[in-house]
Amino acid sequence: MTPLELAEEIINGRRIKRQDDLTFFLNCDLDELCEGADRIRKHFVGDKVDLCSIINGRSGKCPEDCKYCAQSAHNHTDCEVYDFLPEEDIVKACKLNESEGVDRFSIVTAGKALTGEEFEKAV
């Protein structure tokens, strides 16, 4: 099967399942893969896009040791470090994004999880 054949099947109602063997994607032609994905996008959503934005609610000093991450306390970077942003800063950024046509706005934070108090601030 090729990416274009699979795209046609999806457009015609096929639902991909976890157990489907899609390993052919690993070695398929990249242009054909992109064309198939574009056909699926055009069929299901057309040429519109939805905008989303994020704000870094807490930066740096993350205890996780992700080698690729600038916010890990284990990596020595010039990443700005600050605790959870004040609510007013987050609300201001959210309103600015909304005025610019952004449909979804999320808060991301360094670390594995928010504390109860931080979670309450975020919601």
Q: Residue 119: what pLDDT?
A: 81
d(CA 70, CA 74): 9
Domain boundaries, the chain: 3-45, 52-122
How many CB atoms lie under 10 A from the CB of residue 95? Answer: 11
Confirm whether pTM is higher than 0.75.
no
Chain-centroid distance, C-alpha 119: 20
Can you give the pLDDT of all 123 residues of the chain as single tens digits? 899 999 999 999 999 998 888 888 889 999 999 999 999 999 999 998 889 999 998 898 888 898 888 888 898 888 888 988 998 999 999 999 999 999 999 999 888 888 888 788 777
Q: Residue 106: what pLDDT?
A: 94
